[in-house]
Every structure is written in C-alpha cells, then in structure tokens.
Structure 1
C-alpha cells in the first residue's frame, strides 16, 4: 500500500508539471526533430586564403562595457548609433602592423587597438578563423582572422584636432570653436586689461541673437554631459591598470588572473614549482624579496593545483620585476636572469616603446600595477607593501597611490600597513580644480 501511494504521488506531480503549454511545446519539438531527421542538407565549404592585397577579417573586443550592438529589449531597436570603424595598416607591409579605431558618434572618446602592443604582441599558439554561413546558397565560407590576432580595444580621449575636424561640418560650430579657442588663449596668456575687455564684450553681446543663445545653452548642456563621461573614461586611462571587472563580487574576479597570464604561458612558469620539489634547499638569493618571503606559504599548500597556480604567479612576478630592472639603472641585478621568449616578447609589446626601444614612464607605472595585482593574488588580496616595494625599488608611500588607483584600501593594523581589495571596485574620483575667483 505504501508503494502504491508513492506511485500515485509521483504521477500527480507529473500531471501538474505537464501543463498544456508544455505538452504542446514537447510535441512541436518532436515533430521538428522528425523533420530534421528526414531532411538532409548539403553545404559547400570554401576556404578563403589570406591575400596580400586584401585585409582579412579582424576580431576586436571592447575592454569596457560599451556595446555598439546593444538592443533595447522593449523596442527591439539599437540603443547606440553605429560607430565609425577605421583600420590603419603600416606602409611597410612586411611589418604587418594594424591599428583599429572605433569612433562612437558624438562622443569625446574613441576605442583604439593594435596587433603589435599589449597582449596581442605575445606569440600566438592558436590560429583563428571566421565561418560565414549562407543558408540561401547553402555555402560556408571560412576566412582567416587577420594575422591570427584578437585585438583588445582600449578607450582613448580624442585629440583636439580630431574633435575640431568633426565639428567643422557646421559653420556655426566652427565659428564657436574658433571663438572659444581665442577666448581661452586670451584668458590664459592675456593681460588683465585684455581679459577684462573680453569679459565686458561678452556681456554686451549676450542676448543679441535669441537663437544663437538657445544654441549655446544646448551646447553647454551637452558639454556638461560629455565632461562627466570624459572624466570617467580619463580616470580609467590615467590609472593605467590591468584588465578588470568593476562589477565583480569577489576580489579574484575583479582582476582575473587569466587576463594577465594566458593559458599557453603557464607551462613556461614552472621554475618555482620545480624548486619546491627538490629535496635539498636550493639557492633562492636570485629571487625577489617578495618571492623569497612567500616560499613558506607554498610549502604549506596541500592542493597541488593551487600550489602550481601560486608558484606560476610568483614566477611570472619574478620575470616582471627582472624585466623592469633590466630596462632601468638596475641592469646588473637582472643580467643573469633568463626570461622565456614568449614572456619576454609579451613584455616588450606591453611595456616598451616600439620606436625608441625604451620603457616610458606610463609603461613603467603600468608594469608596477601588474606587479601589485599579482602580489594581491598571492597574498589572498591582503598584502604588506614593504616587500614588493623593495623589489620595485619604490617607497611604500609611493606605492600607496598605485594601490588606491587599483581600488585597494590601505589601512594600518598596529605597526603594519596592509593593502586590501574590497569589491565591487571603488576607484578614486578625479578632482576638478576650481578656478580662484578674483
């Protein structure tokens, strides 16, 4: 009897779950499967090879939340206007250098990506292709992605010349632009008498043309909006930090390690892991202070996969610090250190100026940001900056600004200073200077 009651109970649940809509959907799905089984589709595959006189398809993605194809779920229309896409190619075809520029209409920001800097400069172990299906003609065209590169688009502030060139289409806007530039130059470099005369002239001319005044008011409102967007984007550029997810709920997801160390690079980062497998204590003086002081933590890790992850991170951090020393005044400390070719070429593309073959100041700051993020990963996102400061040959006070630009909170516990990474990320806001009123 108990068994029969259980069977009846299950059947009642099945009847409740099998609503008329569910039954109809299941039948329709079964009919479609029957039709698909009876119908055979023959497709003709054509592979398009790369030609020197044509540019192959380029795959690019945005590092920010900007989505040019975003659709409003209510209306089904595109939220953003179609941006202008420009591809530049180096005159010397043997260099195979490409630059992609995406310019959203009406914005002061454009997105720029190249195939010779950043993560694209690393050796590509995987080839990519793009398949296009034409159902009408029943063909599949397979095209190679340009130079097997996936280009990351970074936000950049438009230059003054580009902004003025876009505005030159309207005579009124062009006239206002010239007037504003003269006004700005006069207020910056002119005498007090000239500034006062210009102010009086503006006060007298305001209101002469109601339509012009209305036009100016509209432009000022647009300027206020664009200034907010410009400050938000310029803060990301000025911070000069590794790829991040501002909406992440955990610290590990905020700065994903896979965005810093690519999948094909882990096999070249086994130096410290092999060091731990040795029964005898090997010499570790050549490693940075931060790494030497973390070896005890590695030996205490029981999970072998986690031990390999932390060991690889420390090895990558070692190469990063030695690369900085090799391209600075501390060359002697890194002359005997060997960096794997795949890692070295990646660093060359990310941190070196291709024209001067030197490390500019902004690239040095970017390298420091990468090193601090790796240190946070190793110390479970609560690190003492003293060790890494010695390796980077910087003061802990100077590193405090770098940590804050990463979204970290620097606090003091007793006599030790710690940098922690709370989520979601909260970056410091850019403070606008107020003009002193005379």
Structure 2
C-alpha cells in the first residue's frame, strides 16, 4: 500500500470546547470524503500498516503481540478481545499463593492463623533437628553473667540485634522459653553470617570435614539448608540472586519478631543488614507487618489474620 505525502487535517470539538486535531493518511487511488467513517476492522488494519512503516520499535512489538492475541473471527474488535481475555482469565489459587510467596520473598506462613506465633510457624523456619546446633548463646547464660556475655559477643562480632538483647535471657525464668529465644538469637547470627560470606564460599557446597574451618563456624547442617534455600543453582553465578537475598532477609526479620514478642524496633537489625531503617520498612511490610513511628523510633508489630501484599500485573495501565 502506497501513501501520499499529503495529509488531511480534520478537527472536532470536545465538551470543554478545546480543539482536538487528528491526522489521517490519504491513500493514493482511493476516494476520500471529509465525513467518511472507516469500519473498525479497516481502521485497525490501516493503523497496523502505519505502525509497521513508521512506528517505533516498541510500538511495532506491541502491535505484533496484539495480532497474536486476536482470534480468528474477523468481526471482533482487538481491544474487546484483549479485555475479554483478561476478564475471563481464571486464577489458579494454588499457583497464585506460590507466586506471591516467591515474588514477595515470604518465609513459610499461614494466612488463616489467629495469633502472630502461628502466622509464621517457628517449626517451619527452624526445623526440629536444627535446635541442637543453636546452643552457643544458651551456653553463655550458663557460664556467666549478662555483662560478660555481652562483652564476649561484641568482641566476637555477634549481631548488634543479639548483643542488645542478651540481658533479656537472664530475665526469663522458664528454661524452655530461654532455650527458644537463645536458639533464635543463634539462628539470626548464622543467617547474617551466611549473608555476609563471599559468594564463592556461599556457593561452594561444604562437606562435613571442612565446614567449620572453611565457613566461619556455620554448622554444616545449617549451611546446607541455607545453600538450598538461598543459593544459586548456576555454578558460574557471581552473586546471590536478588529474590534469594530478599527471602533470606525475610527469614531474619520473622525471627526478630519472635525474639521481641512480635513488637520490635527496626534500627539495630537494619544496621546488621547494612541497610537504612527506611529501606528495611518495605521488607517488614511485605511480611504483613504494621509499622508505627514515635520519637524517631520505628516499631514493628504483626497483626492477624495475616494480610500479604496482593500480586499485581506488571505494566498494567491505569484507566
């Protein structure tokens, strides 16, 4: 199809009285009257031809996608077809939940839970067989006072989140609760240790013989779990995938909630993660947490039932 260089200019008036100009091509050899209205399918075909000739690369790509989405029925308008496909699309609930957990980087959770403790089941985060590897901080409570334990942890680069809460262990009378909180502190420390390792060590698949010497004291059982959860299956990768790193952060933040009775401050764990409190807010929000500010301190709580972020379509245009 050949187009004249001449272009007809036609205008109408909108309700506000402003002029709207529309440029239309004149096709050589075809009659063209001023008030002529093209059929929908013919107008769409001409628009595609113009796009293919003069459109940008992105416009041409978008046009090709629209053509592929059209049905074999020539009478249907392309826009109606696309909108109908979106409206008729049925969401697989199981797949959606999996996708939300993946996209939001959310640890194991239960949206039907009626208490914060059950919203993120601790036994799904720290497995039963892992508690025997989480005795280092508990042993400190049995061998000295709080001041000496804090001094030891600070000298050995324990997370500030843990150091700032060690004295809490001496206030807990129930031995089972004390063991649980101490184990959570240890687990947070190991997760942070794994996150800060050089990636070539993270992804090196340790053995039982070299784990303690080569991987800075992370028990091999935990290291293998961390590698499975947060590692990269690509042996040539040079860094942890963003979504895996976010998931690791999610595990750490959930454990901070348990450690502080589901009302925690954001400052010290942000320092341990080498993040600003402002940037860390989003991660807590993804977990369904509520944040409130008072006297420059951000407090995090976990309301139930758990409300996770909704999955949104990318590049969805607003109407």
TM-score using structure 2 length: 0.65
Partner of 1:246: 111
| Number of residues of Structure 1 aligned to a counterpart in Structure 2 | 242
Tell me by how many angstroms 1:360 deviates. Answer: 1.6
Q: Decide whether aligned partners of structure 1 residues 320 and 230 sit closer, same or farther in structure 2, where only a CA change above 3 A counts.
A: closer
Distance 2:117 2:260 in 1: 11
Tell me by how many angstroms 1:397 deviates. Answer: 1.1
Q: Decide whether aligned partners of structure 1 residues 217 and 378 sit closer, same or farther in structure 2, where only a CA change above 3 A counts.
A: closer
What is the CA RMSD across the aligned residues, in angstroms? 3.8
Tell me by how many angstroms 1:359 deviates. Answer: 2.0
Structure 1 residue 284 corresponds to structure 2 residue 166: no
Distance 2:134 2:97 in 1: 36
Distance 1:269 1:240 in 2: 25
Q: Decide whether aligned partners of structure 1 residues 220 and 191 sit closer, same or farther in structure 2, where only a CA change above 3 A counts.
A: closer
Structure 1 residue 324 corresponds to structure 2 residue 195: yes
Tell me by how many angstroms 1:218 deviates. Answer: 7.1
Tell me by how many angstroms 1:339 deviates. Answer: 0.9
Structure 1 residue 259 corresponds to structure 2 residue 141: no
Distance 1:429 1:420 in 2: 20
Distance 1:310 1:260 in 2: 14
Partner of 1:302: 173
Q: Structure with the greater relative contact order (CA < 8 A, sep ≥ 6): 1 or 2?
A: 2
Q: Decide whether aligned partners of structure 1 residues 252 and 435 sit closer, same or farther in structure 2, where only a CA change above 3 A counts.
A: same
Q: Decide whether aligned partners of structure 1 residues 220 and 416 sit closer, same or farther in structure 2, where only a CA change above 3 A counts.
A: closer
Partner of 2:281: 400
Q: Is the 8 A contact 2:263 2:301 kept in 1?
A: yes
Unaligned runs of 5+ in 2: 1-47, 203-212
Q: Is the 8 A contact 1:265 1:343 kept in 2?
A: yes
Partner of 2:242: 361
Deviations 1:386-407 (A, max 9, x none): 1101111111111111001000
Partner of residue 220 from structure 2, selected from 331, 334, 341: 341
Q: Decide whether aligned partners of structure 1 residues 190 and 365 sit closer, same or farther in structure 2, where only a CA change above 3 A counts.
A: closer
Distance 2:215 2:153 in 1: 14
Unaligned runs of 5+ in 1: 1-181
